[in-house]
Amino acid sequence: MRLRLHLVSALVASLALATSVTACGGDDTESYANLEECVTDHTVNEGLSEANAITTCLHDHLDVTFTTVQECVDYVTNNGGYPDSRDAACADLLSQPRIAP
């Protein structure tokens, strides 16, 4: 009986550990349908400035790359506008290193 209790306790503990590791690890990158949806999430729910949200979305969440600031500005203009933030966001984006997946 004691052996069975120890086995059950060990099983419960291992399941709890596996659940906590899964919740804290893995790929937590969110997926967004478009730039506007992503920017809205990051400004409203996470409190980022609009420029920081644009940079974060373009860098982390959307599968886009640019070789110039103007390419980025054109993309942002055509996908939400953001006239007050797009130049700063794109300059910031292109100053950051891109890490290949």
Does residue 75 belong to any structural domain of this protein? yes
pLDDT of residue 100: 55
Does residue 101 belong to any structural domain of this protein? no
Q: What is the mean pLDDT of residues 82-97?
A: 94
Does residue 74 belong to any structural domain of this protein? yes
Does residue 22 belong to any structural domain of this protein? no
Does residue 87 belong to any structural domain of this protein? yes
pLDDT of residue 43: 96
Q: Which residues form the domain of 60?
A: 35-95
- In angstroms, the Cα distances linking 3 to 10, 36, 38, 101 are 10, 57, 52, 47
DSSP string, 31-77: --SSHHHHHHIIIIIT---HHHHHHHIIIIIS----SSHHHHHHHHH
Does residue 63 belong to any structural domain of this protein? yes
- Give me the chain's average pLDDT, please: 78
Does residue 14 belong to any structural domain of this protein? no
- Whether this model's pTM surpasses 0.85: no
pLDDT at 51 over 80: yes
Confidence at 90, pLDDT banded by 50, 70, 90: very high
Number of domains the chain is built from: 1
